[in-house]
Structure 1
């Protein structure tokens, strides 16, 4: 097949994927380029899903909750392939690999000129943690990612606005550890939106009952050091 990155005919290998956690129906295969040693695309029921494609039905620049199988596959590509391999997380910035989402997690993609350029996920209130059997007491932003070439364009702040619009009357959690980049976004946002200083919480899923901490209090302590 023709590899879009190599721009020539190459040898490829197909790997069967199990995306039942995303409720993706049908046959899903990952295609890797053997000659170039990199990921190419995902094939969903004979449809090629390429994260670099422009999709004509997504030309409005906005956050949209994923609903179609194609969009779920695009989220999988961004979270499990592009992020770890091309924008490798850095431990010194409190970035980490993302575990697969749970069945009831809310997943939203950021569309820019027909391309999926980022995502964020939310654990809804009441979501059970398998290891502890505790439940999330508020909607909690669990993961967030913008492709490196689309950063510094305000998409991170848009995540906060989109979550607030989705849960207008609720406190909002952010999974611990909060990355350095997200913490900077939160600081800038809370500096100018005082009404949310008592509504944003840092939450550790290993011990929800005692781990809640107001993000604004944490930010103030950081400034005092």
Structure 2
């Protein structure tokens, strides 16, 4: 098995490979991990990371992370940084280790702009952007939003530019279930989560995604943005609605499921901002929470998820929107122990961290 993938003229990145199958990805990863445990006495393989010393491929640095919120069986094997075990260096895909940045790349010239997430390989890209890039690497210390993976059937679009996935947004469709705990369904389309990578901010990508959302549901009289909406998000909405006044009566800040008693006009709140004290920002969140959904707050009250991510130390915020967070991983606390196939006499076991957080919608954007 290749420990690292070298770039070359004929290289295909994971998202470009045909026939990416979740069972095969999980099966080869489990087989590789079990073999690694059995051969722990041998000299470990080395993984090349640009700009630093090679990393030893040790079982203690590896974790199985759930790809989907509601499906704990579909998992991805990841390699964490020995210098910072809250940070993911690579993912095990197609029987090789791939750097996180390479998982976000493509050689397909037609994969440009906003593209609907359709394949399993694209679901992996969405997972990396959401849970690894934002949840672990580019999340500000000041950001209190937490992240979990999106549901398997979550409607999503990824923004591709020059061969790289740089942003995404997801939608709760009209008529879709609000959560897995009730029978309530959304009464209007809702822009649920959005994120733009740090190095691609200030390029209008958030505006483009908001415009795409409005155009996708051009026939709908009302569109929602998950409550609560941050002050940064309101600034983006203000700029967008000034350019597109025809959208002013359509955008609402909504709580699920979004009936009229659960909607607030975004344009009206923008107009009222001038009458608010400057120390009280328009999009100030209740209890100081950054973009945490009603579902997440309920989970927190019920003790299903933690209130913070003290064990993670990310270092950035998302761009232009504070969408409902989809909660991040704690790679160290509360690990599950998974029994691996072993040779007789072996006592080593695989450790597998669960999801340790809570969901919500809008990502923080400056």
Given the two structures, how large is their TM-score scaled by the length of structure 2? 0.55
Name the structure 1 match of 2:249: 198
Residue pair 1:138, 1:172 contacting (<8 A) in 2 also: yes
Name the structure 2 match of 1:223: 274
Shifted more, 98-107 versus 60-69: the winner is 98-107
- Give ranges in structure 2 of 5+ residues lacking alignment: 1-45, 277-366
Q: C-alpha displacement at 1:100, in angstroms?
A: 2.7
> Against the structure 1 CA distance between its residues 22 and 115, is the aligned structure 2 distance closer, same or farther, given a 3 Å change threshold?
farther
SS of 1:56 mapped into structure 2: coil
SS of 1:67 mapped into structure 2: coil
Distance 1:24 1:64 in 2: 26
Given the two structures, how large is their TM-score scaled by the length of structure 1? 0.86
Q: C-alpha displacement at 1:202, in angstroms?
A: 0.6
Residue pair 2:111, 2:160 contacting (<8 A) in 1 also: yes
Residue pair 1:134, 1:208 contacting (<8 A) in 2 also: no
Q: Between Structure 1 and Structure 2, how many residues are aligned? A: 222
Tell which structure's C-alpha radius of gyration is larger.
2
Name the structure 2 match of 1:139: 189
2:91 to 42, 49, 53: 42
Name the structure 1 match of 2:27: none
Q: Which has the higher strand share?
A: 1
Q: C-alpha displacement at 1:47, in angstroms?
A: 5.1
Residue pair 1:176, 1:203 contacting (<8 A) in 2 also: yes
> Against the structure 1 CA distance between its residues 70 and 22, is the aligned structure 2 distance closer, same or farther, given a 3 Å change threshold?
farther
1:86 to 119, 137, 156: 137
After superposition, the C-alpha distances for 1:80-127 in whole angstroms (9 at most, x for unaligned) are 1111222225667xx622343233321111111111111111000111
2:66 to 8, 12, 18: 18
After superposition, the C-alpha distances for 1:160-199 in whole angstroms (9 at most, x for unaligned) are 1211222111121100112332211110011121111110
Name the structure 2 match of 1:76: 127
Residue pair 1:59, 1:111 contacting (<8 A) in 2 also: no
Q: Pairwise mapping of residues 1-225 of structure 1 onto structure 2 (< 5 A)?
A: 1-5=46-50, 7-12=52-57, 13-21=61-69, 28-35=76-83, 37=85, 38-46=87-95, 48-53=97-102, 54-57=105-108, 60-89=111-140, 96-130=145-179, 131-170=181-220, 171-205=222-256, 208-209=258-259, 210-225=261-276
Q: Which has the higher helix share?
A: 1
- Structure with more contact order per residue of length (Cα contacts < 8 Å, sep ≥ 6): 2
Aligned alpha-carbon RMSD (Å): 2.6
After superposition, the C-alpha distances for 1:26-45 in whole angstroms (9 at most, x for unaligned) are 76311213245431122234
